[in-house]
Amino acid sequence: MRKILASLGTPRGLVVAVLLLAMALLPVIAQVLDQRYLLSVSTRIVIWSIAAAGLNIMLGYGGMVSFGHAVFWGIGGYAVGIFAHHGVHDGWLQWPVGIAAAMAWATLIGALSLRTRGVYFIMITLAFAQLVYYVAVGLEPYGADDGLNIAGRSQFSGLIDLRDRGQFYWLCFALMLATIWFCARLANSRFGLVVRGAKSNETRMAALGFPVFRYRLVAFAISGGFGGLSGLLLANHDAYISPAMMSWVKSGDLIVIVVLGGMGTVFGPLFGTIAFFVLEESLKPLMDMASKGTGEYWQIVFGPLLVLVALYARGGLDSLLGRGRARSRHRG
Amino acid sequence: MAEALLRTHRLVKRFGGLIATDGVSIDVRDGELHALIGPNGAGKTTLIAQLSGQQRPDSGRVEFDGRDITALDMPARARRGLTRSFQITSVLPEFTALQNVALAVQAHAGHSFRFLANARRDRRLREPAFAGLELVGLGNRAQILASSLSHGERRQLEIAMALAGEPRLLLLDEPMAGMGPDESARMVDLLRSLKGQRGMLLVEHDMDAVFALADRISVLVYGRVIATGTAAEIRADPEVRQAYLGDDSGT
Q: What tens digit of pLDDT does each residue of A114-127 get?
A: 999 889 999 999 99
Kindly determine whether residue B78 and residue A330, on different chains, have CB atoms separated by under 8 Å.
Answer: no
Instruction: For residue A329, tell me if it sits in a domain.
Output: no
Residue of A nearest to B144 (CA): A331
Instruction: Choose the closest CB to A191 out of B90, B92, B114.
Output: B114
Structural domains in chain B plus CATH codes:
1-81+167-251 (3.40.50.300), 92-166 (no CATH)
Longest dimension (CA), chain A: 61
DSSP string, A36-73: HHHHHHHHHHHHHHHHHHHHHIIIIIT----TTTHHHH
pLDDT above 70 covers a percentage of chain A that reads 96
Q: Identify the CATH number of the domain in which residue A301 sits.
A: 1.10.3470
Cβ contact B119–A332 (<8 Å): no
Q: What is the ipTM of this complex?
A: 0.88
Q: Does residue B216 surpass a pLDDT of 50? A: yes
Rounded-to-integer distance, Cα A308 and Cα B78, Å:
44
Asked whether residue A36 is domain-assigned, the answer is yes
CA dist., res. B64 & res. B71, Å (int): 12
- Which residue of chain A is at minimal alpha-carbon distance from B162? A208
Q: What is the domain range of residue A43?
A: 2-321
User: What share of chain B in percent tops pLDDT 90?
Assistant: 71
The contacts of residue B110 (CB under 8 Å, 6+ apart) are none
Quickly state the pLDDT bin for A328 (edges 50, 70, 90): very low
pLDDT in tens, B91-111: 999 999 999 999 999 999 989
A327 lies in some domain: no
Q: Are B92 and A204 in contact (CB under 8 A)?
A: yes
Q: Which of B221, B236, B243 is nearest to B36 (CA)?
A: B221
Alpha helices by DSSP H, listed for B119-206, are 123-136, 151-164, 181-194
- Asked if residue A330 is part of any domain, the answer here is no
Structure confidence at residue B246 (pLDDT): 57
What count of other Cβ atoms lies within 10 Å of the Cβ of residue A72? 36
Helix (H) or strand (E) holding B201: strand B199-203
Please judge whether B119 and A193 are an interchain contact, meaning their C-beta atoms are less than 8 angstroms apart.
yes
For A206, which residue in chain B has the nearest alpha carbon?
B75
Residues B213/B14, Cβ–Cβ less than 8 Å: no
- B200 strand-pairing partners: B33, B170
CA distance A300 to chain B (A): 35
Residue A326 lies in a domain: no
What are the start-end ranges of the H helices in chain A? Answer: 2-7, 11-24, 26-33, 36-56, 70-85, 91-113, 118-137, 165-187, 190-200, 202-208, 212-238, 248-261, 268-290, 299-312, 316-319, 325-329
Confirm if A63 and A199 have CB atoms less than 8 A apart.
yes
Query: CA A306 to CA A312: how far, in whole Å?
Result: 10
Distance from CA of B119 to the nearest CA of A (A): 5
If one counts the domains in chain A, the total is 1
Q: Residue A264: its chain B contacts at CB < 8 A? A: none
Whether B157 shows a pLDDT value over 80: the answer reads: yes
Q: How confident is the model at residue B245 (pLDDT cuts 50, 70, 90)?
A: low
